[in-house]
Amino acid sequence: MPTLSGKRAARRADLPAWDLDRLGLSPEEIGLKGSPTRVVRIFHPQITRSPRLFKGNDIERGIAELLTELEGLGITGREGVS
């Protein structure tokens, strides 16, 4: 975790500016023109799952139902264990 004195020192730090000349680059080598990739499309994927809620006051029963559900999906490592 950064310390308070470290944060204060960071605020006072003199950071060098790196421009095209200092880096020895042309405008065609950086930014959008210089990027080998392009963003073609941005979208929010549709959520196709439906949640399963385990309700009730009996926590033992809820845990048992959850484990049964997970075992049925084959993701507990306890499949076939009685």
Confidence of residue 79 (pLDDT cuts 50, 70, 90): low
Contact predicate 57/74, CB 8 Å: no
Digit-coded pLDDT (tens) for 36-55: 888 889 999 888 888 877 77
DSSP state of 72: H
Question: CA angle 59-65-67, nearest 5°?
Answer: 100
Q: Which pLDDT score, from 0 to 100, does residue 61 have? A: 87
Which has more confidence, 59 or 79? 59
Q: Distance of CA 46 to CAs 13, 34, 78, Å? A: 45, 33, 32
For residue 41, give the amino acid letter: R
Dist. CA 46–CA 23, nearest whole Å: 43
Confidence of residue 10 (pLDDT cuts 50, 70, 90): very high
DSSP state of 29: G
Q: How much is the average pLDDT of 48-72?
A: 84
Return the percentage of the chain with pLDDT > 70, whole number: 94
pTM of the predicted structure, to 2 decimals: 0.33
